[in-house]
Amino acid sequence: MTTAVTAPERAGSAPDGTPVHRWVLERAGTRVAVLDYGGILQSVEVPDRDGVRADVVLGFDDVAGYVDCPSPYFGALIGRYANRIAGGAFTLDGRTYRLPRNNGTNCLHGGERGFDKRVWDAEPAADGHGVRLSLVSPDGEEGFPGRLAVSATYALDAAGALRIEYRAVTDAPTVVNLTNHSYWNLGGAGSGRAGGHRLRIAAGHVTPLDGDSVPTGPPAPVAGTRFDFREPREVGSGYDHNFVLDHGTSGASVAAELYDPVSGRVLTVTTTEPGIQLYTGDAFDAGPFGPCEGIALETQHFPDSPNRPDFPSTVLRPGEEFRSVTTYGFGTADDRA
């Protein structure tokens, strides 16, 4: 089956009045809606073990919902820097850059007006199977150096898996860390808490955090702790932590698998990124959704990497290209141990 890429339809307006459009992709039983506002993954509809489809990401029916409820970052494309930069500052090549402190003393998810609040240019992907979003972040935006040209292509493969490919180039040294911030509930959005899902993460280490969710030292082993998801178990609650994936920076590999025993739906996350942030949404009460109704699995580099030379580097220089690929595969199972 070829991909059906529906012509973009008007979906509302950004706060400044810029029109926002929705792109719908459909292939092999998966239907996805993407907004050019914030690069938001608005919906992902996939079948359960009985063939009944449901939307498995949390979100809103219109743009106004995202504008009115921005802080949980529902489905958004995050940049320039996903996660936290401690103290809202970093030093690169001997120069210190000051960023917005929009999360206590930290800069979170790109600052006050990150990529999640921008209207992206959108066009059909070159291969005809998706939509390509692009924007230019000017030098100094939210305090980050360099003119950064970014693209993110959302596409469905022949098996109905959603592939997001991020690319970026810069004209001056800078730092880049991009991700998608969808909250998954495989029972269907609005079906209740997702803590009963079973999760496996291919990570033998986690970055220990202080009270401000900033890493305090080198990665720590997960063995014997509540962070050990190397074998599938119920997610529960109380997580907003970066897991150090076993594959490191060696290439694409399975990072996590999430399973809902009620619906039978399975989500498999494959990524080229070295880390994945597990966030169980304990703190938010956003619109129709309460705490722990969705599970975020954010593939990315580690928090505060610009200030941690011992972490995989997030520095991008002129003449280089940032490239990252994450794939979300969907399936079903009658039982998973």
For the chain (length 337 residues), average pLDDT per consecutive 10?
A: 75 96 97 98 97 97 92 95 98 98 97 97 91 98 98 97 98 98 96 94 98 96 98 96 93 95 97 98 79 96 98 98 98 74
Sequence-distant (6+) residues with CB within 8 A of 188 are 54, 55, 56, 263
Class of domain 4-332: mainly beta
* pLDDT recorded at residue 288: 82
- What's residue 285's pLDDT? 66
Strand partners, 33: 24, 43
Q: Residues 6 or more apart from 9 whose CB is under 8 A from it?
A: 21, 22, 24
pLDDT at site 286: 62
Nearest CA to 67 among 16, 132, 10, 32?
Answer: 16
β-bridge partners, 165: 153, 325
> CB neighbours of 306 closer than 8 A, spacing ≥ 6?
81, 85, 90, 91, 92, 175, 314, 315
Q: How many CB atoms lie within 10 A of CB 204?
A: 17
**In a 3-state reduction of DSSP, which class is residue 77?**
strand
Could you tell me where the beta strands, DSSP code E, fall in 68-106?
Answer: 77-78, 84-85, 89-92, 95-98
Closest CA to 324 of 88, 82, 27, 141: 82
pLDDT of residue 1: 47
Annotated catalytic residue 301: no
Look up 45 and say whether it is catalytic.
Answer: no
DSSP per residue, 197-248: SEEEE-EEEE--B-TTS-B-SS-EE-TTSTT--SS-EE--S--EEEEEETTT
Whether the ω angle into residue 80 lies within 30 degrees of 0, i.e. cis, is yes
- Among residues 21, 273, 298, 301, the one annotated as catalytic is 298
| Catalytic-role residue among 181, 197, 205, 241 | 181
CA 114 from chain center: how many Å? 13
